[in-house]
Chain A
Amino acid sequence: MKDKKFISYLFEVAWILPSVAIPVSMLVAILITAFAVGVRVPTTAGRVSVSAVAAGVDATFSQTGLREIAPGRYEAIITAQTFMFTPNKIEVPAGSKVTFILTSKDVIHGFKINGTPINVMVIPGQVSRVTATFDKPGEYLFVCHEYCGAGHHVMYGTVIVN
């Protein structure tokens, strides 16, 4: 009886140790990619007045579109509303580093550029700010990935990298 208990105890320990080791090592891998490699997630980027954005008087969002802020560095100001992004076509040369600054004029939208790590919610009253570098030429599809109403599935755009 005593032996049997000991064996089951060994079994438990043999299971518990890897049960701790697996999540801990995965966590370490995440911390390395986040803080050593620099793959970060969206964070707070300030609030914005929905009525000011709608009226076109907000300092940032009254002029949507792409602007070069330094050689090879761009800012793309984009507004989301049912059921479109403004602008929905952005053209940059290969190797550009682009910061996307977005907000919504009405409900919650989503913004994911396929083939890049960019994936962010676009929420009325909030500024979303995300950055990616486009090394390979091509067309990058971006879609609204949060249900935003009857026309949600026609809300998309492209980043064209030359």
Chain B
Amino acid sequence: MSTTTSGTGSSAAADGGGDEGSGAYDARFRVWRGDVEGGDLEDFTVQVNDGEVVLDIIHRIQATQAPDLAVRWNCKAGKCGSCSAEINGRPRLMCMTRMSVFARDEVVTVTPLRAFPVVRDLVTDVGFNYTKAREVPSFVPPKDLGPGEYRMMQEDVDRSQEFRKCIECFLCQDTCHVVRDHEENKTAFAGPRFLMRVAELDMHPLDAAAATGLDRKATAQEEHGLGYCNITKCCTEVCPEGIHITDNALIPLKERAVDRKYDPLVWLGNKIRRRPTS
């Protein structure tokens, strides 16, 4: 992951030269500049060429007008999750937002993620997410299988594999109103990305957490704040990987928590049959 303050973009157009042929025009940008002490939106008029994305334009601004503009980026292919920002108020990856989606006379506003502490300009401190990641107990290997002996049917891992597409851009964490609009909830709530991680492990066919006394269904509710989620689906809306976070992870996890905590029939059935997992 790179945090640059100088023009190191790989785009041929980043230096301001670019293809000045058909389709080139001057766009108006407003980019938030500042740090934790304060800042404001700064206006730029910058050239846009055919096929460019917002990150190209930010790099051009950096190369031609604001060499000290801080922006975090890396792959420019929507796979590293570094260039998360808010473009016209919507959490998006700058490298995956084509300029062609905007009208030519539209002012494009780019700000840092507004749920996390700002470091400088478009760079935020996303350490909250790494802390939350460490709070989720990792995969527990089954005792009777050694490395290389794991065998799983495809249908058993399909669900978890969808969640493994996550590139950890943290756009879902940024847009989730539970922490975005309520700083005080950051202690209690893990956020959609890490509740999805809990769901992934709970659905994993070989995870042996239950054998060690770790009930992921109950801890999702009690330690990771699943109850704070009111399933308004913003995490799903902003996911650049198209993961159905709410429908395939959060709601199933809520239903699993209901099995453990709120459904007396399931509780009774498990007591009688003594079959905790199937």
Do these two chains really belong together in a complex? no
User: Which residues of B are interface residues toward A (Cβ below 8 A)?
Assistant: none
User: Which residues of A are interface residues toward B (Cβ below 8 A)?
Assistant: none
